[in-house]
Amino acid sequence: MKDLVVSYDVAVRLKEIGFDEPCMFFYRLNKLKISLNVSKLVSHSGALASSVSSDAILLSNHNLFNNDYSAPTYKQVFEWFRKKGYLPNKLPSNEDFLFQLCDLYEDNE
């Protein structure tokens, strides 16, 4: 999962600069969590479902809550920065670049 979503430190920086997209993952107390609709995890008989369907996954802006940090995928982060007009032509593929992008965005807001 670590390769799919940003690290806790990047999630904190993204919250600081206003990242507000809905995400299925979030950090609480530095632990990665997933948002699930519990009622969708229970089968008609009342037992826990053996698998999770896509309608059980909740997308939410976890940054609205004090102790939560949205944990977007890297794709979501790059789309958000692209939407804001802050993507250079060449994209390095490391986490330091994400911190630099956060700093650039914050400096220009």
Domain ranges of the chain: 8-108
**pLDDT tens for residues 47-99?**
555 555 555 567 889 899 999 999 999 999 988 988 888 776 566 666 777 77
Q: Of 40, 17, 15, 45, which is closest to residue 28 (Cα–Cα)?
A: 15
More confident call, 47 vs 2: 2
**The predicted structure's pLDDT at residue 16:** 95
Kindly report whether the global pTM for this prediction surpasses the value 0.75: no
**pLDDT tens for residues 17-53?**
999 999 999 999 999 988 765 555 555 565 555 555 5
Distance CA 20, CA 70 (A): 8
